[in-house]
Amino acid sequence: MTPATASDASTLARDFDLRHLSPAFYADPYPVYHALRTHEPVKRMPDGSLFLTRFRDVQAVYRDPKTFSSDKTVEFKPKYGDSPLYTHHTTSLVFNDPPRHTRVRKLIAGALTARAIAAMEPGLIRLVDGLLDAAAVRGRIDLIGEFASAIPVEIIGNLLDVPHAEREPLRDWSLAILGALEPSLTDAQLERGSRAVSEFVEYLRDLVGQRRREPGDPQHDVLTRLIQGEAGGEQLSEAELLQNCIFILNAGHETTTNLIGNGLVTLTDWPEQRAALLREPSLIESAIEECLRFESSNQLGNRMATVDTEIGGVAVARGTPVTLCIGAANRDPEQFAEPDRFDIHRDPNRHLAFGFGIHQCAGLSLARLEARIAIGRFVQRFPAYRLDGEPTRGGRVRFRGFAVVPVELEPSSAG
C-alpha cells in the first residue's frame, strides 16, 4: 500500500469512527492507526469515548488499574441489557477489578505453572503432528478450520477435562460470545451470543456436577481447581465458576487460533523471513513474538476512567470509556524501529499483545507454546506451502484473524 499523504492521513484520523468502519479497515487497519497516532493519538469518538493509539499511552493506562477500571457493569448495560451475554461478560475474570479479579486469576494461574505447561508439550506435539499427517495425505489444508482452530480447542478442552465427544460445539459457542464484543452489534449477533452463553452454561452445569462427584487432579484440571478454591480460602459462587469456565475456553481459543493463522499467513508475505526460520529453526521463539506484535490477535482493550484524569495531555472526565488499541501500540515507531517490517530477529520486542500489568493474559505461556509447536512444525514439515487463493478475513476488528485460509502444501515444480 502506498503511504498516505499528510492530508489523506489527517482526513483518515478526523473521520475515524470505531462504530462505522469500512471494508478496507477490516482488511488493513494499520494506515488508519498510523494516521491517528500522528494526528489524533488520543481520539475523541462521536460517542464521547477515547481511542488510544500510542504505545506509551496504552501502557500508562494498563499500569494504572485504579484510575482505569476493567469493570463493565455500567458500560455493558446499554449494549447487552439483561441478557445472558451481560451476565457472562460482567462476571468473567477479564472484565473485573480486584479483589474479585485477583481471586479468580490466582486459581487459574495456579493450574498454568511452568511445570504444568511443560507437561503439555508431548501431547501437543502428537496433536500437531497428527493434523500435519492428515494434511499431507490431502495435499492441501484450510489453515484455520483444519489446523489452527483444532489446537486450542483440544488444549483448553484438556485443561478443563471436557470429554472429547463433547467438544464439537465449543468453537461455535466461543465465536458467538466473542463476536458480541465487537464495537457495533446487530440484533442477530446479540441473540446468537446470548443463546451460546445459555447453552454453554447448561452444558457446564452437568460437567461441574460430574466433577464435584469425581474430582480430578487440581494440579492439572483447572475445573477441579476452580470448584475446590484455595485451601481454607473463599469459594467461587456457582455463577463465577460457570462464567469463568466459559471465559477460559474462549480466552484460550480464538486468540490462539488467530496467532497461529496470522503467523503462517504473514510468513508467506515475507519469504526472506520464512527462509531465515527454515535455516534456523531456533528462531521460532522470537518469530512468535514478532507474529504477536505485527498482527496482534487481540487488537482492542477497554477501560473506564474512575476519576477525572488525563491521558497524553488530554483531560479525561470520570466515567469516560477508553479503548486501548493494542494493534496500533504494537506498530508505534517510538517503540519499534521500522514497525511495519516483519522481522523475526527483532530484539527487544516488548509488545502489548498479551496486555500489561495485573490484567496481562494469564495463559500467555500456554499460547506461546501452542504457537511455537504449531507454526514451527508446520513450516519445517511443509517448507514450500503457499496460499491457494485469497484468505477470508474473520470480519472482526477486536479479534484480528482469518475465517478460511486455503493452502497448497507441496506445490509442483511447475507451479
Buried b (16+ CB within 10 A) or exposed e, 241-260: bbbbbbbbbbbbbbbbbbbb
Residue 252 lies inside a defined structural domain of this protein: yes
- The predicted pLDDT at position 243 comes to 93
Residues for the chain: how many in total? 415
Residue 81 lies inside a defined structural domain of this protein: yes
Tell which residue, 6, 33, 64, 99, has the closest CA to residue 328: 33
Q: For residue 344, is pLDDT > 70?
A: yes
- The predicted pLDDT at position 150 comes to 95
Q: For residue 28, is pLDDT > 60?
A: yes
Tell which residue, 233, 214, 237, has the closest CA to residue 224: 214
Give the span between the Cα atoms of 60 and 312, in whole angstroms. 9
pLDDT bin (cut points 50, 70, 90) of residue 2 is very low
Q: For residue 258, is pLDDT > 70?
A: yes
pLDDT bin (cut points 50, 70, 90) of residue 410 is confident
Mean of pLDDT values over 196-208:
96
Helix, strand and coil content of the chain, in percent to the nearest 5, comes to 55, 10, 35
Mean of pLDDT values over 343-356:
98
Mean of pLDDT values over 57-76:
96
Residue 2 lies inside a defined structural domain of this protein: no
Residue 56 lies inside a defined structural domain of this protein: yes
Q: For residue 412, is pLDDT > 60?
A: no
In the chain, the percentage of residues whose pLDDT exceeds 90 is 84
Strand partners, 402: 393
Residue 31 lies inside a defined structural domain of this protein: no
Q: Look up the domain containing 338 and give its range.
A: 37-408
Mean of pLDDT values over 17-42:
96
Mean of pLDDT values over 228-257:
86
pLDDT by residue (tens digit) across 96-107? Answer: 999 889 988 988
Residue 6 lies inside a defined structural domain of this protein: no
Q: For residue 253, is pLDDT > 60?
A: yes
Mean of pLDDT values over 80-98:
94
CATH number at residue 119: 1.10.630.10
pLDDT bin (cut points 50, 70, 90) of residue 411 is low
Could you write out the DSSP letters of every residue in 46-115?
Answer: TTS-EEE--HHHHHHHHH-TTTEE---TTTTHHHHTTSHHHHHHHHSGGG--TTHHHHHHHHHHHTS-HH
- The predicted pLDDT at position 122 comes to 96
Give all strands (DSSP E) within 208-285, no chain letters: none
Mean of pLDDT values over 189-195:
96
In the chain, the percentage of residues whose pLDDT exceeds 70 is 97
Tell me how many domains the chain contains.
1
Give the span between the Cα atoms of 73 and 100, in whole angstroms. 13
- What mean pLDDT, rounded, does the chain reach? 93
- The predicted pLDDT at position 4 comes to 53
Give the span between the Cα atoms of 391 and 42, in whole angstroms. 33
- Please provide residue 89's backbone torsions phi and psi, each rounded to the nearest 5 degrees: -70, -20
pLDDT by residue (tens digit) across 291-343? Answer: 999 999 999 999 999 999 999 999 999 999 999 999 999 999 999 999 999 99
Residue 10 lies inside a defined structural domain of this protein: no
C-alpha cell at 4: 498516505
Q: For residue 57, is pLDDT > 80?
A: yes
Could you write out the DSSP letters of every residue in 250-271?
Answer: HHTTHHHHHHHHHHHHHHHH-H
pLDDT by residue (tens digit) across 143-178? Answer: 999 999 999 999 999 988 999 999 999 999 999 999
Residue 172 lies inside a defined structural domain of this protein: yes
- The predicted pLDDT at position 81 comes to 95
Q: For residue 181, is pLDDT > 90?
A: yes
